[in-house]
Amino acid sequence: MPLAPFHLAFPVHDLAAARAFYGGLLGCPEGRSSPDWVDFDFHGHQIVAHLAPEECRAAATSAVDGHGVPVRHFGLVLPMEDWQAMARRLEGQVDFLIAPYVRFKGQPGEQATMFFHDPSGNAIELKAFADIGQLFAT
């Protein structure tokens, strides 16, 4: 069965900043919009930035592989070469919460990962697997 696109709505404090970040920096084409929200094509998935500054807040963290991973986050699993290209693109453009590295090295589920915030404090994780068959490895 083909993978179904997901839909995610999240709060932002400023739609212009969201457009610059998601549309400009991350390269996500913009879809529909209104004065209160804007859709983005997040690699085939629909994410919607809703203007709700009062909902923007820091996420709690959980320890994973020696790092404090934001509990509330969203992201993508990219092909490895796309992940590497995005890591290069983001270098110097974002303050990484967790800089690009390989997690669980030599273990089941080995993956490349990085975490960063959007301008409203939403945590984003981008990851990749040398072997996508390890996505759900235990």
What class has domain 61-134?
Answer: alpha beta
pLDDT at 71 over 90: yes
Write the single-letter amino acid at 83: W
CB atoms within 10 A of CB 122: 23
CATH, domain range 7-52? 3.30.720.120
CB atoms within 10 A of CB 104: 14
* Averaged pLDDT, 47-69: 94
Cα 49 to Cα 54: distance, rounded to the nearest angstrom: 14
C-beta of residue 12 within 8 angstroms of C-beta of residue 119: yes
pTM, to two decimals:
0.93
Average pLDDT, the chain: 95
Which residues of the chain form CATH 3.10.180.10? 61-134
* Averaged pLDDT, 19-35: 98
Which residues of the chain form CATH 3.30.720.120? 7-52
